[in-house]
Amino acid sequence: MKIKIPPYPNYKITKKAISDIEKQSVKKADSSGLSNRLVMVVKFKNGEERVIRSRPVRHLNNLYVSAFPNPVHLFLSVAIEHFNQSEEIKNTNFPKCGKQIGEDIYILDIEENGTHECYNHYIKYRSSSIVMLVASIEAFLNHIVPNDYKYKTQRTRNGITKDVVFSKKKIESGNVPFNEKIDSLIPQMLNKESFWNNLESEKITIKKLYTSRKNIIHLKTNAEDDLTAYFDAIDKMLDLNIHDCIMATTNFMNNVEKDFIEFEK
């Protein structure tokens, strides 16, 4: 499972604009004086010419320039990649590393550092997948809100309920919680109250995903003793169906913006 990662932005450009740019362009033999924020005109393999941007990386006195990827797709691809790696560890490495001590019980031996590398990597990639999957959703929620959009809702304080309006800046600054964005902001912004009617299972799955991510990020140590610390959050993380979360996320995004996420064949 792998998705395509498009550049951002990704503007089409006319041949006249290409001609005008070429007339005004100055060729450089080196990177001296170049900004670390570049706007580029490139031709894709399908022949289309586009305007994109780049944030070059300097390494050993060389400047490496490429298209800036859409962060939503980039974060989602990391989540998918790490989920795939966790599944590979479970399906391939566990059987190789595990020693059978019962009919269906295998133990991953304790290594020099006191744990087992395969098991450590399995937890590492699953937790990273969950965190990056939510990061992609949060980036998408901010991405699709128009700059001039005003979110109208209500807030209650000291028993008094008032109408309030949030600008995009306020929406992105934490004034509107994640679940409220999912439940209320999206249908209102799309002017489609029935948006979630056929996506109820996706909404439930995304909320479960967010809760698991919250538990990981804000990992609590409050427990009766060290033997019970962390287990509640880890249980939920290990039991979460990440594949379903990935599919719910991509289906949600594509229902908001058609073909926003494309899987590679």
- 234 found inside a domain: yes
Q: pLDDT at position 39, please?
A: 81
Same domain? 48 vs 141: no
Q: Can you tell me the mean pLDDT for 232-257?
A: 95
Ranges 16-25, 180-189, 215-224: which has the least confidence: 16-25
Q: pLDDT at position 125, please?
A: 97
- 175 found inside a domain: yes
Separation of alpha carbons 3 and 7, rounded Å: 13
- 2 found inside a domain: no
- 1 found inside a domain: no
Q: pLDDT at position 21, please?
A: 62
Separation of alpha carbons 189 and 119, rounded Å: 43
Q: Which two tokens stand for residue 154?
A: 């209500």
* Last residue of one domain, picked from the residues 41, 64, 87: 64
pLDDT band at 229 (very low <50, low <70, confident <90, very high): confident
- 151 found inside a domain: yes
- 169 found inside a domain: yes
Same domain? 127 vs 20: no
Q: Which two tokens stand for residue 164?
A: 């309030």
Q: pLDDT at position 41, please?
A: 80
Which range marks the domain in which residue 42 is found? 11-64
Same domain? 83 vs 48: no
Is the pLDDT score of 25 beyond 70? no
Average pLDDT taken over every residue of the chain = 90
Same domain? 206 vs 76: yes
Same domain? 147 vs 100: yes
Q: Can you tell me the mean pLDDT for 188-205?
A: 96
* Last residue of one domain, picked from the residues 64, 81, 97: 64
- This prediction has a pTM of 0.88
Same domain? 112 vs 181: yes
Same domain? 206 vs 229: yes
Q: What is the pLDDT of residues 60-114, one digit of tens each?
A: 988 898 889 999 999 999 999 999 999 999 999 999 988 889 999 999 888 777 8
In the chain, the number of structural domains is 2
Same domain? 144 vs 218: yes
Same domain? 175 vs 192: yes
Same domain? 54 vs 15: yes
- Sequence-ordered list of residues with C-beta below 8 angstroms from that of 109, at least 6 positions apart, any chain: 97, 99, 116
Same domain? 24 vs 120: no
Is the pLDDT score of 225 beyond 80? no
Q: pLDDT at position 17, please?
A: 66
Percent of the chain exceeding pLDDT 90 equals 61
Three-state helix/strand/coil letters over the chain: CCECCCECCCEECCHHHHHHHHHHCCCCCCCCCCCCCEEEEEECCCCCEEEEEECCEEECCEEECCCCECHHHHHHHHHHHHHHHHHHHHHHHHHHHEEECCCCCEEECCCCCCCCHHHHHHHHHHHHHHHHHHHHHHHHHHHHCCCCCCEEEEEEECCEEEEEEECHHHHHHHHCCHHHHHHHHHHHHCCCCCCCCCCHHHHHHHHHHHHHHHHHHCCCCCCCCCCCCCHHHHHHHHHCCHHHHHHHHHHHHHHHCCCCCCECC
Same domain? 31 vs 82: no
